[in-house]
Amino acid sequence: MTPFQELQQALRASPQQWLVTGAGGFIGSHLVETLLTLGQRVVGLDDFSTGRRSNLWDVKRRVGPQAYERFHLIEGDIRDEAICTTACAEVDRVLHQAALGSVPRSIEQPQRTHAVNVDGFVNIALAASERQLPFVYASSSSVYGDHAELPKREPALGDPLSPYAASKRVDEIYAAAFRTSYGLRAVGLRYFNVVGPRQDPAGAYAAVIPKWLAAFKSGKRPYINGDGLTSRDFCPVANVVQANLLAAYADDDAVGQAYNVGLNQRTDLNQLFALLRDGMAARGVDCAEVQPEYRDFRAGDVRHSDADVSLARDRLGYVPEQTLADCLGETMDWFLENEAS
């Protein structure tokens, strides 16, 4: 039995109450779904500035109305100190996912990015520290910046390439300071490119996979930023959920650290394009002959990413269970089932 399987068994036997910030978001909604499936009680906090109510409707559909009764939503902004205090008042553990994502958006909106990702982080971390709650927070592989080493290892940081990257690095610094000053039991998770069902295909800052799927379905030609040789460690969201739950029960010697969460596997954009195009064609979409349109490289993007997950494996028990191929299959099936709505 894996550490995650053991934890799931323990959670079913002894339910807890969890706070998930950003509960209506892509990752947050998957955390809510898994926790409800495991019999937990969940408080969700979201202002729906980027999260979607439809994600929570999908959770309700999947877990059933009875399980969903154990979910309580607080609609509010993490920039509001009082809301953060209220959200933490009666929970046992905090999974902090709320943030303003996207490198391009952070370049266009640096003040807003800082306000949400840093000021909001300080508010929720302080509220958690006042009650000495285990606190897991979403960091990002973007903190590695211009450091060229592959695979990425936790100690080797470069200069940040965007305000988003800077905000996530500042969060890690605050987590360390709060541990020293207030005893906060924080564990950071440096997400690599998380993929899976419920990613939003709409808007200027949409993730690449749902954007491409929407293009294939509508008969449009998807575009690739750069030459297509840019590579990413695409991590299935199921593995991110696993890492969060394990981190919430981290031993004393594992807290106070940020860990890579990925597959330790690189896929370039040309390869990803072919996988999605062929997968959609196999599902009846008329896109088998579609070729990408290549555009300029995007400002602030790193060229390659690849996660060394050995530290998370050794200290948290993290062992990625879902493959990229299986995740892409689930994502395409979900998209085709839900795209009309």
Mean confidence (pLDDT) of the chain: 94
Cα–Cα distance for residue pair 210/126, rounded to 1 Å? 35
CB 48 within 8 A of CB 25: no
pLDDT of residue 121: 98
Q: How confident is the model at residue 130 (pLDDT cuts 50, 70, 90)?
A: very high
Which residues lie below 8 Å from residue 241, measured CB to CB, with a gap of 6+?
A: 27, 30, 31, 34
Which of 101-105, 137-141, 255-259 is the least confident region?
101-105
- Taking only the tens place, the pLDDT of each residue in 156-191 is 898 998 999 999 999 999 999 999 999 999 999 999
- The C-alpha atoms of residue 114 and residue 121 are separated, in whole angstroms, by 10
| Catalytic residue, candidates 164, 191, 249, 318 | 164
Cis peptide before 163 (omega within 30 of 0): no
Quickly name the fold that domain 15-338 has.
Answer: Rossmann fold (3.40.50)
- The answer to whether residue 203 scores a pLDDT higher than 90 is no
205, pLDDT greater than 80:
no
In sequence order, which residues have a C-beta less than 8 Å from that of residue 123 and are 6 or more positions away?
78, 79, 80, 81, 84
Q: pTM of this prediction?
A: 0.94
Which residues are paired to 48 by β-bridges? none
Per-residue model confidence as pLDDT tens digits over 313-334: 999 999 999 999 999 999 999 9
Does 263 have pLDDT greater than 60?
Answer: yes
Lowest pLDDT segment from 180-184, 205-209, 288-292, 296-300: 205-209
> 164 catalytic, yes or no?
yes
Report the pLDDT averaged over residues 281-289: 93
pLDDT of 204 > 60? The answer is no
